[in-house]
Amino acid sequence: MERIDLLKAWVATLYPDTAFEVEFAAADADFRRYFRLVLPDGVTRIVMDAPPDKMNTERYVHVREVFAMVNVPAILARDAEQGFMLLEDLGRVTYLSALQHDEREVVHKHLLLEAVDTLIDIQKASRPGVLPEYDAALLTRELNLFPEWFCAKELGQPLSFAQKKLWDAGVKALLPALTSQARAFVHRDFIVRNLMLTPGRPGVLDFQDAVYGPVSYDLVSLLRDAFIEWDEEFVLDVAVRYWEKARAANLPVPADIDAFWRDFEWMGVQRHLKVAGIFARLHHRDGKDKYRAEIPRFIRYLKKTTRRYGELAPLYQLLVQLTGPDEDDASVGRVFSATRLSSGE
């Protein structure tokens, strides 16, 4: 049977003799899909489809309990053998759609500060030994997605010997600054697409890959987004407000705001390199084009940050060699297009 038929048959065991409807709700970058179950009385639920030969839902269940202090969906039923889970429905409005619907800065700031409060609630519960370590080995594996998938596959330009030296020098400067940051629970994809506009406080989704790592990581995810972009002054303002709230909550952020901002920016370099690699991999390995058009935004983020810090100059030089000296989206897009044309794509 097709997965959707198996899913409907499973739902029928939960709601026997009930005329329910099942509609597609969302899909993740991995193999998970979500469907909205609509019952005759109008009540809705979300059904997760995680094929058991490709996914393990144990991690989702565990992290859901760890993050139970915030608004995460309740698990109402589960069939681990088939890879199905019935979840509370947190609604249809993501933070991303709410922010795109109303572009007033005051609205954006209000919603982001609500997200910041939720993030701080998660971080206040942090303790070691509960989630996997976001250590140097994992950070490095993620960084290496950039040369492997963005450079070699997306651009069709495997790093030359000289470029590899620039890359190694940049990573050597970057990693110690990341691993020396204080540690906290890290959602790992705390973005506006994974936050839901729900009464009282945001709903939090897609948390199953959470780890224990650098305290600045999730704030970077929130404020340096793939699908929406704010100017530097706005980002700095929200980051300062987070820092003030974190200090008040006794979270282990630096006592000096300049030191915190540097942590934030350097953490962003790691994340942006990783995301550019992941988005390229989704296209070239998995045949998913949904995120490919957003890669230039991350290249722009990277150039703006790496040119500010002398220690990161090798990465800036590498980025310029790969994508050209201009930093606007159009110029980066032209480089990508020319590369694809030359490679026959």
pLDDT of residue 333: 42
User: 199 in helix, strand or coil?
Assistant: coil
Neighbours of 257 (CB within 10 A): 15
DSSP 90-109: --S-BHHHHHHH---HHHHH
Per-residue pLDDT tens for 212-237?
999 999 999 999 998 899 999 999 99
The one-letter code for the residue type at 54 is K
Cβ atoms of 131 and 185 closer than 8 Å:
yes
What does the alpha-carbon distance between residue 308 and residue 303 come to, in Å, rounded to a whole number? 9
Residue 28 makes CB contacts below 8 A (sequence gap 6+) with: 34, 206
In this prediction, the residues of the chain whose per-residue pLDDT falls under 70 are 1, 29, 326-345
Tokens 């053998």 appear where?
A: 81
What does the alpha-carbon distance between residue 136 and residue 158 come to, in Å, rounded to a whole number? 24
pLDDT of residue 326: 61
Neighbours of 325 (CB within 10 A): 9
pLDDT of residue 329: 40
Cβ atoms of 151 and 182 closer than 8 Å:
no
Q: Which domains does the chain have, with CATH numbers?
A: 18-87 (3.30.200.20), 95-339 (3.90.1200.10)
pLDDT of residue 104: 95
Q: How many CA atoms lie within 13 A of 331 on its CB side?
A: 12
pLDDT of residue 8: 96
Q: What torsion do the CA atoms of 318, 270, 226, 281 make, to the nearest 10 degrees?
A: 70
pLDDT of residue 340: 37
